[in-house]
Structure 1
Amino acid sequence: MDARLARALWCLYAAAFAALLLAFPASAAASPSPDSPRVLVVEFDNDVNPVTQDYLEDEMHRAERDGFSAVVIEMDTPGGLGSSMREIVKTMLALKVPVVVYVAPPGSSADSAGAVIGQAADVLAMAPQTNIGSSTPISATGGDLGKDLRKKVINDAAAYIAELAREHGRNADAAEAMVRDAANFGAREALAKGVIDVMAPTVPALLEKIDGTKVVPKGIVLHTAGAQVERVEMGFWKRALDVLIDPNIIALMLSLGLVGILVELWNPGLILPGTVGVISLLVGLYGLQVLPVSAAGVLLMLFAAGLFVAEAFIVSHGALALAGAVTFVIGALMLFDPAGDAYQVSVWTAIAIAGTLALLLGFALSRVVKARRNPVEVGVGQMVGGEAVVRRDGWVSVGGELWRARSADGGVLVPGEHVTVEAVEDDLGLVVGSPHPTERA
């Protein structure tokens, strides 16, 4: 019995060992080779601004640092700040890993600054039913620039985008037309005119098409067929920061900061208004630090705040509050002029905030100041002029409390008599006098 059991166990161990040997090569063959290409796909569906610039640059540097074969920026953008655009372009040109800009998914566009970034890519691709272009510089208010300034700015932008296209083997004239004539091309037209390099419906199809391509001017041959794709999108924190640099949010945060701090100053001990005010002010200042601002706009906003505060001290019957509201609206509309038309405070938002501040700071704070100037209405001083009832000679009742008292004329206090409190002595004794009006009545 023991011998048969031993043989059975031996056969079981042998079978398990054989199965392990057979399975090992299979699993090893199924696992990806460490030398197989890897591609990082960076989703970019936002404006071009300092926050999204930081996001793109971080991911591109990660692709270079971690040895990816290429980085694909999947783009859908209306454009944005020229300063951030140029920093992104500089990073792309200096990067050792190939950069592919892919305008996708269908329905997306790469407009304005996005088109310029696309021309800086080693490979520029588009999905069907997408478009690219409209890169003509405009003024901060969305209108045309002055004649001399327009000529200078457009010539600079046209030369910039044309040089990027030319160095990457694309149609420089068509790229220049995006600036001079605000030209915009659909995917098929862009491919036919040589504005882009390839059209593909999906990322895997794109990687198959560009495999073996030698990118210019880096001189690197792409190996992307069958690549492992790692996709990344902007995280919660970056998206939160992107929301906080909205000009309307910045104006609102600065207003809340002003209100909260003033309420705390006039009502010491109310921790919540001051805390909310400081946090709101810091959030607003962050936005001012990130976006380019107009000095004139900042000065007008500060002057508006001064007018609102002055309303609480000077009786102007609302004139200072009204002047502050008008100044605030003008300052808010001018505040982000250097950032361009995509970063402007809405007129209705500015009016709504200014109106609220005028009502709150012009009326509520003036009421607070008036209340603070009134005599103290708490403590023993409140009893002067009030009614007292004599309980016995030398003692009176005030508000249900028994107080030691003496008559102002030195007379005897008659129990049950209603008298008037004339003074409170230092030892908290009361001086009472003539009968209270209620008794005389």
Structure 2
Amino acid sequence: MTPRNRNGRRPGAGRLALALVLLLLGLAAAAGAATPPPAPHPVFLVRLEGTINPGTALYLRRALREAAAARAACLVVELDTPGGLVASLRSMVQDVMASPVPVVVYVAPAGARAASAGALLTLAAHVAAMAPGTNIGAAHPVELGRGAKDETLSAKAENDLAAMARSVAGERGRNVEWAEKAVRESVSATAREALRLGVVDLLARDRAELLERLHGRRVTAGGSPRVIETRDAEVRVVREGLRERLLRAIADPNVAYILMMIGMVGLYFELAHPGVILPGTIGAISLLLGLYALQALPVNTIGLLLILLAMGLFVLEILVTSYGILGFGGVVALILGSLLLFDTPETGVAVAAAVLWPTVLLAAAAISTVVYLVVRVRIRRPETGLPALVGARGTAREAVDARSGRVFLHGEYWNARSPVPIPPGREVVVERVEGLTLHVVPADEHRGKDAPEDA
């Protein structure tokens, strides 16, 4: 029998148990080392450029939805905007504030701006960042489309937007006083000034530096604390869909203006030449798209009315022979309406001069050409049918008097009458047509407008 120690255990049993424990720990450590660490959550990225409009809001909403479904580390919004519509801004701010995924608004690249509505969107982000050489601010609301300024409505719009700026800035722990001044006094700040004033959270030269500086930052998103982990994360770019591109494109003032001009010219061609169909079809579609775009844009009512007046004058030129007077008035109204349609330098919503002048000149030239052709047709004597015989020259084949006679005209024999006797072989001129009977006079006694001889 194997001897036992005083505790009743065999010698070496403790060493065996210790070796077994060490072996199990070694195997567990090796298994842990062989298992790769979990991949970091992806970073979603969208690029918002140009005006803020319904297409932009739809694009951001879809990006937020996809980021939440993928449990993204954060959604980075690279922003460069002159501003836009308050209704679209409110929708975007609501989506950002309610997002369970941290939203990082990054004003970039150098030279970009977050002006007007863009400033408030930046304030609403969980993390606000700017690239050096960018600026933010000037968020005072601009009431457009009114002849005389309504002080009460302007004050209501200003107070409403100022309250919104204070609310989102306070919720994100940013400079509430500066946010209100951006609305009431249109103050702006450079990137470094914004960082010093507590308007934004950090500066980053490029996207790589931004992601590095975001790593480990703590935020509250969707009511829960979150730690943003962006180191070595995959960056997924959310592309615009067809509907979003279409909405954003037609909401651009330059595109909306061109659509309006195409629609007006197309319908005018169809009215001037009924039955052509193609210009009218293209014109109707373009006009409807243009009118939809105008609903999404801050339009100057006077400018729009002048363009509609121009269209009315062009149509009247077709119906009433004014010898170009109505058409000229329509061209003047078209030019003035185009200049006033988006007279909004404060928000940056305006038709570029490089688009406006070529478009309005081409439209005016096309419509003026049609007006000229219509007027020329109206004043030109008929060339077909019985009215075209008036003024034509022929030859008497029989004696023509007040009761009967026959003349040869345009290769045919016609019954004819004349207030004076006309012997056979004499040249005659048609003065009027009555049924199928020509009323003629001797050519040497005719004082009206002569026509080429056709005997």
TM over 0.5: yes
CA distance in 1, matches of 2:416, 2:213: 108
The 8 Å contact of residues 308 and 321 in structure 1, kept in 2 or not, is answered as yes
1:192 counterpart (174, 196, 205): 196
Query: Structure 1 241/436 Cα, relative in aligned 2: closer, same or farther at 3 Å?
Result: same
CA distance in 2, matches of 1:303, 1:233: 41
CA distance in 2, matches of 1:322, 1:384: 33
1:307 alignment partner in structure 2: 313
Q: Deviations over 1:5-24 (max 9, x none)?
A: xxxxxxxxxxxxxxxxxxxx
Q: Deviations over 1:278-301 (max 9, x none)?
A: 233233223223324455554443
2:187 alignment partner in structure 1: 183
2:205 alignment partner in structure 1: 201
Which range moves more in the overlay, 352-361 or 194-203?
A: 352-361
1:222 counterpart (228, 237, 247): 228
Cα deviation for residue 348 of structure 1 reads 9.5
**Which residue type is aligned with residue 268 of structure 1?**
P
CA distance in 1, matches of 2:205, 2:379: 73
1:246 alignment partner in structure 2: 252
Cα deviation for residue 342 of structure 1 reads 2.3
2:83 alignment partner in structure 1: 79
Cα deviation for residue 92 of structure 1 reads 0.8
Query: Structure 1 308/162 Cα, relative in aligned 2: closer, same or farther at 3 Å?
Result: same
CA distance in 1, matches of 2:389, 2:303: 54
1:91 alignment partner in structure 2: 95
Q: Deviations over 1:284-339 (max 9, x none)?
A: 22322332445555444333322333344445565544554554455445545799
- Over aligned residues, Cα RMSD in angstroms? 4.7
CA distance in 1, matches of 2:200, 2:140: 19
SS of the residue 2:269 aligns to: helix
- 1:378 matches 2:380: no
Gaps of 5+ in 1: 1-24
1:124 alignment partner in structure 2: 128
2:13 alignment partner in structure 1: none
1:38 alignment partner in structure 2: 42
1:264 alignment partner in structure 2: 270
Q: How does 1:17-416 map to 2 (within 5 A)?
A: 36-140=40-144, 152-216=156-220, 218=223, 219-234=225-240, 238-239=244-245, 241-293=247-299, 297-314=303-320, 320-321=326-327, 323-329=329-335, 331-332=337-338, 335-336=341-342, 341-345=347-351, 364-365=370-371, 368=374, 371-372=377-378, 376-378=382-384, 382=388, 386=392, 403=412
CA distance in 2, matches of 1:326, 1:384: 39
Structure with max Cα Rg: 2
**Which residue type is aligned with residue 172 of structure 1?**
V
Q: Deviations over 1:139-175 (max 9, x none)?
A: 549xxx8876665544433332222122112232333
CA distance in 2, matches of 1:67, 1:253: 41
CA distance in 2, matches of 1:104, 1:116: 16
Query: Structure 1 273/245 Cα, relative in aligned 2: closer, same or farther at 3 Å?
Result: same
Q: Deviations over 1:212-252 (max 9, x none)?
A: 33313532232332211112344677556544333344344
CA distance in 2, matches of 1:316, 1:385: 26
Query: Structure 1 270/247 Cα, relative in aligned 2: closer, same or farther at 3 Å?
Result: same
The 8 Å contact of residues 127 and 187 in structure 1, kept in 2 or not, is answered as yes
CA distance in 1, matches of 2:186, 2:311: 41
SS of the residue 1:216 aligns to: strand
Q: Deviations over 1:259-288 (max 9, x none)?
A: 332332232333443334323323322322
SS of the residue 1:308 aligns to: helix
Query: Structure 1 322/408 Cα, relative in aligned 2: closer, same or farther at 3 Å?
Result: closer
The 8 Å contact of residues 71 and 98 in structure 1, kept in 2 or not, is answered as yes
Q: Percent identity?
A: 38
Which range moves more in the overlay, 430-439 or 193-202?
A: 430-439
The 8 Å contact of residues 250 and 287 in structure 1, kept in 2 or not, is answered as yes
Which range moves more in the overlay, 209-218 or 375-384?
A: 375-384
Query: Structure 1 136/390 Cα, relative in aligned 2: closer, same or farther at 3 Å?
Result: closer
CA distance in 1, matches of 2:271, 2:93: 48
Gaps of 5+ in 2: 1-30, 398-405, 445-451
Cα deviation for residue 61 of structure 1 reads 1.9
The 8 Å contact of residues 116 and 139 in structure 2, kept in 1 or not, is answered as yes
CA distance in 2, matches of 1:29, 1:353: 65
CA distance in 2, matches of 1:102, 1:249: 27
Q: Number of paired residues?
A: 400
CA distance in 1, matches of 2:417, 2:324: 48
The 8 Å contact of residues 81 and 115 in structure 2, kept in 1 or not, is answered as yes
CA distance in 2, matches of 1:60, 1:373: 65
CA distance in 2, matches of 1:336, 1:434: 64
Q: Deviations over 1:343-381 (max 9, x none)?
A: 245689778777776776578436515624766412577
Query: Structure 1 339/287 Cα, relative in aligned 2: closer, same or farther at 3 Å?
Result: farther
CA distance in 2, matches of 1:139, 1:292: 8
**Which residue type is aligned with residue 117 of structure 2?**
A
CA distance in 2, matches of 1:372, 1:39: 68
CA distance in 2, matches of 1:58, 1:82: 19
CA distance in 1, matches of 2:48, 2:364: 41
Query: Structure 1 372/273 Cα, relative in aligned 2: closer, same or farther at 3 Å?
Result: farther
Is the helix fraction higher in 1 or 2?
A: 1
